[in-house]
Structure 1
Amino acid sequence: MRVEADQPKCVASGQCVLAAPDVFDQDDDGIVVVLDDHPEESTHDDVREAAAICPAAAIRLADK
């Protein structure tokens, strides 16, 4: 899995960080930061949840 974030679309809700804190963080303005763009398989369910609940649809997931 590859994780991408569209920072200009991000509305700084922080839902991604709550769902997958090992993969996402926020900068000083609350904008999403991807900590691990190829996360371990054990986190894939959390990452999928983060993408699904993002109110701005700013997270994209792709196959490696």
Structure 2
Amino acid sequence: MRVRIARDLCVGAGQCERSAPEVFAQDDSGLSRALTRTPPAAQWPAVHEAAGLCPVGAVLVTEDGDADRAALPDAHRNVDRAAHQDVDRAAHRDVDRAAHRDASRAAPNDRRETS
């Protein structure tokens, strides 16, 4: 197994260092770096956990000569994008409901004043 940090993706969340402190550390800029590119087998579960917890997919793992799992960051971006869209839709529904509720409350009063 080989591991590296895609520093162009890293946001310094520190999940990798929390999961595998023997393999990852944050530098003075707050970004993560791999302390070793080839962690011992005993660290592999922690490295996989770190890769799974990284919010931007910056922990790249290569196993047995495979290419870096570069698709992982794209998958994270797609999940993030979908999550943001869901949050946006929910927020718009809440705003629409509140506006409708406010309009419904105002409507009877408006009718009374014009009668």
Q: TM-score range by the shorter chain?
A: over 0.9
Query: Which protein has the bigger helix share?
Result: 2
| Residue identity (%) | 39
Q: Give unmatched runs, 5+ long, in structure 1.
A: none
1:3 is paired with a residue whose SS is strand
Other structure's SS at 1:44 match: helix
Alignment of structure 1 residues 1-64 onto 2, 5 Å: 1-64=1-64
Deviation sequence 1:31-61 (CA, Å, 0-9, x none): 0111011000000000000000000100110
Report Cα offsets for 1:7-49 as digits up to 9, x if no partner. 0100100010000000000111210111011000000000000
Q: Tell whether the 8 Å contact from 2:4 to 2:33 is kept in structure 1 after alignment.
A: no
- For 2:3 and 2:19, how far apart are their aligned partners in 1? 14
Partner Cα separation in structure 2 for residue 51 and residue 30 of structure 1? 18
The count of aligned residue pairs is 64
From the two aligned structures, give the one with the greater strand fraction: 1
| Structure exhibiting the larger radius of gyration computed from Cα positions | 2
Give 3-state SS (helix, strand or coil) of 2:51's partner: helix
Point out 4+ residue stretches in structure 1 off by more than 4 angstroms.
none
C-alpha separation in 2, matches of 1:40 and 1:6: 20
